[in-house]
């Protein structure tokens, strides 16, 4: 059994962070450390029925409450924080999704203004069956229309404090991580985040019982989560944009508008990553990445859009393990704690 420090933390209402940067740490942790955390849903638990409209029960900009930030001892700019997701489990038997006027991919927004009327504000409550691992959709217009979708818990938001003294809303994704909304942020995955300030100030939240790629209407199947992560520090290794690693894939995340710039950021970062791992020059790495990657959408609704590129690790034979093999080490460490 490992002597890894295990910290349990359930925030009180006044302890949630609503930004990345600008919030005092709730705890100091010495890496590697295992955190057993409760995270509230993006509505702070206030949408509980079909009549709980976001515009009435939530107060903008107090959306997407984050558990944290955690001061990672020893972290300095130029290092990388590794967050390995051991488990992500819904903390309730229900979840909520909504449409919000002037928000989402298929409506007028504040950034893409048109003269059409906003879409209606509606709420759907989803029934979660944690034993069957399903999320039940019940149509509002046809109550007999019921579909069970697979439960695939994930975190929409994980990040560190931004660079240059910036304070960013927890609704925004960027180079610091934040509200990336990628379904790839699931149990068994390690997220790498470049450190911008002493202590990194890592936070996470925005649990989704499931989400389709793109988060088209702007809202996933939102729920509170009981989440276990192991946080470690990779000293002297920078990470310019968020990177993810699973047992089978390396992934880079880019966030920007327009969407093609988010894709370009993720792709360019993957080319750089592959070149560094294999010794290939930039043009050889560019060719390999071009022909080998998958490119799932994360979100096309937030202030910045997020695009991922995924490269199967089997295409990198004989290469040095990514990030000094931290993913495999943290995965194995998690298994000793189970």
pTM here?
0.96
How high is the pLDDT of residue 120? 95
- Pair 177, 193: CB distance under 8 Å: yes
pLDDT in tens, 242-267: 999 999 999 999 999 999 999 999 99
| Short-list 204, 192, 203, 195, CA closest to 163 | 195
Say how far apart CA 67 and CA 20 lie, in whole Å: 11
pLDDT in tens, 165-175: 999 999 999 99
How high is the pLDDT of residue 2? 62
Mean pLDDT of the region 2-24: 94
Q: CA geometry: angle at 22 spanning 18 and 25, to 5°?
A: 85
pLDDT in tens, 253-306: 999 999 999 999 999 999 999 999 999 999 999 999 999 999 999 999 999 999
In the chain, where the domains are located: 5-234, 243-337
What phi-psi label fits residue 130: left (phi over 0), alpha (psi between -120 and 50 degrees) or beta?
Answer: alpha
Say how far apart CA 304 and CA 294 lie, in whole Å: 21
Q: What is the dotted CATH code of the domain comprising 243-337?
A: 3.10.28.20
Three-state SS annotation for 276-313:
HHHCCCHHHHHHHHHHHCECCEEECCCCCEEEEEEEEH
Q: pLDDT grade, residue 3 (50/70/90)? A: confident
Place of tokens 């792709």: 267
Q: Which CATH number, 2.60.120.580, 3.40.50.2000, 3.90.1150.10, 1.10.3720.10, labels domain 5-234?
A: 2.60.120.580
Handedness of CA 21, 243, 109, 94 (dihedral sign): negative
- Residue 319 pLDDT more than 90? no
pLDDT in tens, 116-165: 899 999 999 999 999 999 999 999 999 999 999 999 999 999 999 999 99
Mean pLDDT of the region 302-322: 92
The beta-carbon contacts of 57-61 under 8 Å, at least 24 apart in sequence, are: 61/18, 61/169, 61/171
Q: pLDDT grade, residue 110 (50/70/90)? A: confident
Q: pLDDT grade, residue 317 (50/70/90)? A: confident
pLDDT in tens, 15-47: 999 999 999 999 999 999 999 999 999 999 999
CA dihedral 127, 124, 39, 89 (to 10 degrees): 30
First vs last C-alpha separation in the chain:
9
pLDDT in tens, 179-224: 999 999 999 999 999 999 999 999 999 999 999 999 999 999 999 9
Q: Does 243-337 match 5-234 at the fold level?
A: no
How high is the pLDDT of residue 1? 44
């Amino acid at each position: 059994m490992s002597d890894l420090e295990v910290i349990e933390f359930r925030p009180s209402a006044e302890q949630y962070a609503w930004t990345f940067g600008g919030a005092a740490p709730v705890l100091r942790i010495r890496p590697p450390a295992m955190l057993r955390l409760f995270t509230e849903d993006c509505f702070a638990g206030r949408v509980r029925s079909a009549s709980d409209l976001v515009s009435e029960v939530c107060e903008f900009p107090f959306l997407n409450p984050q558990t944290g930030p955690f001061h990672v001892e020893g972290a300095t700019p130029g290092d990388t924080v590794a967050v390995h997701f051991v488990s992500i489990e819904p903390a309730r038997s229900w979840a909520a999704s909504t449409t919000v006027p002037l928000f989402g991919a298929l409506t007028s927004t504040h950034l893409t203004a048109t003269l059409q009327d906003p879409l209606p504000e509606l709420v759907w409550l989803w029934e979660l069956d944690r034993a069957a691992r399903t999320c039940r959709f019940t149509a509002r217009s046809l109550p007999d229309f019921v579909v069970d979708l697979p439960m695939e818990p994930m975190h929409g938001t994980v990040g560190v404090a931004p660079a240059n003294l910036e304070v960013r809303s927890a609704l925004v994704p960027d180079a610091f991580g934040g509200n990336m909304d990628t379904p790839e942020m699931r149990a068994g995955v390690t997220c790498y985040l470049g450190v911008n300030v002493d202590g990194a100030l890592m936070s996470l939240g925005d649990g989704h019982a499931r989400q389709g790629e793109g988060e088209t209407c702007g809202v996933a199947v939102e729920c509170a989560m009981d989440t276990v992560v192991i946080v470690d520090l990779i000293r002297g290794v920078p990470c310019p944009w968020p990177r993810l690693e699973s047992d089978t894939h390396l992934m880079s995340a880019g966030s920007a508008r327009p969407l093609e710039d988010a894709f370009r950021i993720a792709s360019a970062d993957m080319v750089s990553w592959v070149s560094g791992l294999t010794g290939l020059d930039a043009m050889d790495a560019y060719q390999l990445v071009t022909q080998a990657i998958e490119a799932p959408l994360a979100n096309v609704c937030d202030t910045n859009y997020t695009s991922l590129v995924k490269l199967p690790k089997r295409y990198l034979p004989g290469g040095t393990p990514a990030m000094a093999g931290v993913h495999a080490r943290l995965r194995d460490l998690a298994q000793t704690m189970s």
